[in-house]
C-alpha cells in the first residue's frame, strides 16, 4: 500500500509541475481513477477485443469533464493497441474490414445529421432496442454465411457509422456482425481489435485539430501506459485459457447490459 501511494505521488508530480495552477491533491485523485479505469478497460479489451470505451467512459466521467473523457479514452485505446495490434492483424478478417471501414465513414456524417433531428432519449431508445434485438438474435443462434455479400458488410459499416455519429458508439453493430459469422472466437477478437484501433486513430485527427488532445490528456495517457500493458496482457492471458463459448457469452452479456442501460436512461429522463 505504501509503495502504491509513493508511486501515485511520483506520477502525479508532472501534472502540478506542468501546470502550477493545477491542484496537486486533485491531480493525485484524478490520476488514481484514470489508472484504475485504464486497467479495467484494458482488461476487458484484452479478453473480448472490444469494450474499452464502454468501461472507460463511465468511470472517467466520475472525475473528468466530458470534453476530456473522450479524447483521453481515444488516446488510451490507441496506446493499448500497440501491445497486440501486430499479432491481431495476422488473423483479422480483412475482407470484412475492407467493407466495414468505408461504410462507417459514410454513415458517420449521416449519424451526425440525425443527431440534430433526434432527441437524446429517442437516440438512446433506438440504439438500445437495436442492440438488444441483435443480442437476442445472436443468443438464439443467428448465423450469417461465411462470405456475406459485400453490400451486407457495407451496410453494417453504415449502421456502425450512424451510431458513431449519433452516440459515439460504433462498436455494437460490428461486434454483432462478427459474432454472427462462422468465425472462431480468436478471429472475432482479432478483427474487433483491429477495427476499433482504426476507429480510434481516425477519431484522434479531429480531436487533435480541435485542440482537445492537450498536454494533460497526453500526460494522463502516458502515465497510464504501464497499467494498460498489464491489463491487456492479463485479458489476453484469460482469453487464451478460457473455453471459446465463454468469449461469446461475455460479449453477448456486454451488449445486452449496454442496451438495457441505454433503454433505461431513455425512459428515466
Write down the pTM of the prediction.
0.82
Q: What's the whole-number average pLDDT of the chain?
A: 83
pLDDT at 158: 92
9 has a pLDDT exceeding 50: no
- Quote the CA–CA distance of 260 and 62 in Å, as a whole number: 21
pLDDT at 47: 92
Residue 69's pLDDT band (boundaries 50, 70, 90)? confident
pLDDT at 23: 46
pLDDT at 269: 60
pLDDT at 5: 42
- For the record, the C-alpha cell of 241 comes out as 485459457
145 has a pLDDT exceeding 70: yes
Residue 27's pLDDT band (boundaries 50, 70, 90)? low
The three state secondary structure string of the chain is: CHHHHHHHHHHHHHHHHHCCCCCHHHHHHHHHHHHHHHHHHHHHHHHHCCCHHHHHHHHHCCCCCHHHHHHHHHHHHHHHHHHHHHHHHCCCCHHHHHHHHHHHHHHHHHHHHHHCCCCHHHHHHHHHHHHHHHHHHHHCCCCCCCCCCHHHHHHHHHHHHHHHHHHCCCHHHHHHHHHHCCCCHHHHHHHHHHHHHHHHHHHHHHHHHCCCCCHHHHHHHHHHHHHHHHHHHHHHHHHHHCCHHHHHHHHHHHHHHHHHHHHHHHHHC
Residue 151's pLDDT band (boundaries 50, 70, 90)? very high
**Which of the residue ranges 82-86, 94-98, 175-179, 206-210 has the most confident prediction, judged by mean pLDDT?**
94-98
Q: What is the mean pLDDT of residues 112-127?
A: 79
Q: What is the mean pLDDT of residues 85-94?
A: 93
Amino acid at each position: 500500500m505504501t509503495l502504491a501511494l509513493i508511486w501515485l505521488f511520483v506520477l502525479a508530480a508532472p501534472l502540478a509541475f506542468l501546470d502550477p495552477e493545477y491542484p496537486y491533491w486533485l491531480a493525485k485523485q484524478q490520476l488514481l481513477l484514470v489508472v484504475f479505469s485504464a486497467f479495467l478497460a484494458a482488461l476487458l479489451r484484452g479478453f473480448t477485443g472490444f469494450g474499452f470505451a464502454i468501461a472507460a467512459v463511465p468511470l472517467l466521467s466520475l472525475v473528468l469533464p466530458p470534453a476530456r473523457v473522450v479524447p483521453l479514452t481515444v488516446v488510451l485505446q490507441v496506446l493499448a493497441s500497440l501491445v497486440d495490434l501486430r499479432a491481431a492483424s495476422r488473423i483479422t478478417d480483412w475482407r470484412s474490414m475492407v467493407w466495414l471501414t468505408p461504410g462507417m465513414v459514410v454513415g458517420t456524417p449521416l449519424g451526425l445529421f440525425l443527431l440534430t433531428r433526434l432527441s437524446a432519449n429517442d437516440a438512446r431508445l433506438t440504439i438500445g432496442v437495436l442492440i438488444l434485438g441483435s443480442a437476442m438474435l445472436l443468443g438464439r443462434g443467428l448465423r450469417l454465411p461465411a462470405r456475406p455479400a459485400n453490400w451486407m458488410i457495407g451496410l453494417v459499416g453504415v449502421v456502425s457509422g450512424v451510431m458513431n455519429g449519433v452516440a459515439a458508439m460504433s462498436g455494437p453493430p460490428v461486434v454483432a456482425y462478427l459474432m454472427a459469422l462462422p468465425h472462431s472466437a480468436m478471429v472475432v477478437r482479432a478483427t474487433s481489435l483491429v477495427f476499433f484501433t482504426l476507429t480510434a486513430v481516425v477519431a484522434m485527427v479531429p480531436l487533435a485539430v480541435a485542440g482537445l488532445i492537450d498536454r494533460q490528456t497526453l500526460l494522463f495517457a502516458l502515465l497510464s501506459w504501464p497499467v494498460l500493458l498489464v491489463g491487456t496482457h492479463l485479458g489476453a492471458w484469460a482469453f487464451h485459457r478460457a473455453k471459446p463459448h465463454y468469449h461469446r457469452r461475455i460479449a453477448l452479456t456486454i451488449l445486452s447490459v449496454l442496451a438495457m442501460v441505454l433503454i433505461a436512461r431513455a425512459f428515466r429522463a
